[in-house]
């Protein structure tokens, strides 16, 4: 798995965000049975930048915690068989499946960790997992979708021993 990681903030984190992201993303891909080597971009930004992105791409003029920009048009979440006929989803040089971009707002991540009473490591990991499931075609527009996505996120974080209290 290729992670294109960039921290565009001045923020110091108490954990290695790139290493953590690789573990979380790798576990999501394993959990979903992805048969391909994949490429994902993850960028850490400040509140102003994520608000700008949210306004430009979603017409929502507010700060949010994470944005996902999928590159693969999954009709059914994690249905990798459909990719056999979609060469444009693969990097022509590496052959990696290009899943998309994740943007995490560090200040909002810290606020939510405090609000929920857990560590920034746990919140970062949750946001990375949540966004990865979006890149794989999952959504939470209905109660059933939300419950399914939440269960999958928790299963991944449990495997990595990243708990709400830690």
The answer, yes or no, to whether residue 107 has pLDDT greater than 90, is yes
pLDDT for res 164: 77
Q: Read off the pTM.
A: 0.95
pLDDT for res 120: 96
The answer, yes or no, to whether residue 166 has pLDDT greater than 50, is no
Average pLDDT over residues 39-55: 98
Average pLDDT over residues 108-119: 96
Domains and CATH numbers, the chain: 2-159 (3.40.390.30)
The answer, yes or no, to whether residue 128 has pLDDT greater than 60, is yes
For residue range 10-26, list pLDDT tens digits in order: 999 999 999 999 999 99
For residue range 91-102, list pLDDT tens digits in order: 999 999 999 999
For residue range 135-159, list pLDDT tens digits in order: 999 999 999 999 999 999 999 999 9
Query: Who's near 31: CB < 8 A, 6+ residues apart?
Result: 152, 155, 156, 159
How many whole angstroms separate alpha carbon 53 and alpha carbon 47?
Answer: 10
Select from 156, 140, 158, 18 the least CA-distant residue to 68: 140
Positive or negative torsion for Cα 10, 68, 49, 90:
positive
How many whole angstroms separate alpha carbon 87 and alpha carbon 65?
Answer: 32
Per-residue pLDDT band for 165 (boundaries 50, 70, 90) equals low
């Amino acid at each position: 798995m290729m992670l294109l990681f960039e921290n565009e903030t001045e923020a110091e984190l108490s954990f290695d965000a790139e290493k953590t992201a690789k573990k979380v993303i790798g576990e999501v891909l394993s959990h979903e049975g992805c048969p391909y080597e994949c490429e994902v971009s993850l960028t850490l930004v400040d509140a102003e930048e994520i608000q700008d992105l949210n306004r430009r791409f979603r017409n929502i003029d507010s700060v949010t915690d994470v944005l996902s920009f999928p590159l693969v048009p999954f009709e059914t979440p994690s249905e990798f068989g459909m990719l056999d006929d979609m060469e444009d989803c693969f990097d022509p040089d590496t052959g990696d499946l290009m899943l998309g971009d994740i943007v995490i707002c560090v200040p909002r991540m810290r606020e939510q960790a405090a609000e929920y009473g857990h560590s920034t490591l746990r919140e970062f990991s949750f946001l990375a997992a949540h966004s990865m499931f979006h890149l794989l075609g999952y959504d939470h527009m209905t109660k059933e979708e939300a419950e399914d996505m939440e269960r999958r996120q928790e299963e991944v974080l449990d495997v990595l021993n990243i708990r709400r209290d830690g």
